[in-house]
Amino acid sequence: MSQQDNFAGGFIAGALFGGMIGGVVGALTASRLRPSETTASTLRSLNSREQPLEVFDDATEESMEIARRRLEDKIAQLNEAIDDVRQQLGGINGYPQEMLDDSSLIDS
């Protein structure tokens, strides 16, 4: 139990110490920025968030069809990967594939 207590205490102390160091570094970094730089960066980040919405507004039916096909291809690839893993694991819930094929062998 003492190792668990030491771990918990060390974890909490590390989190508090790291939080204090991070707060000091963040405060020092923020104080070095001029207000004009902060305002400009804020405006840039707001504009960059709105840009993807405009791109989707101008989307054509053709580009949506291309995106749908790509998505279907990715889904097919994922389904194939799932099937491969399922075969490698040898069945469902520990039953071999042969037992799954013959349902009379599985106890209900």
**So where are the chain's domains?**
1-58, 59-108
Q: To which residue do tokens 């960066």 refer? A: 41
Spell out the per-residue pLDDT of the chain, length 108, in tens: 566 667 888 889 899 999 999 888 888 887 777 665 556 666 666 555 555 544 555 568 888 889 999 999 999 999 999 988 888 887 666 666 666 566 665 555
Q: What is the pLDDT of residue 46?
A: 56
Distances from the Cα of 48 to the Cα of 36, 43, 75, angstroms: 18, 9, 30
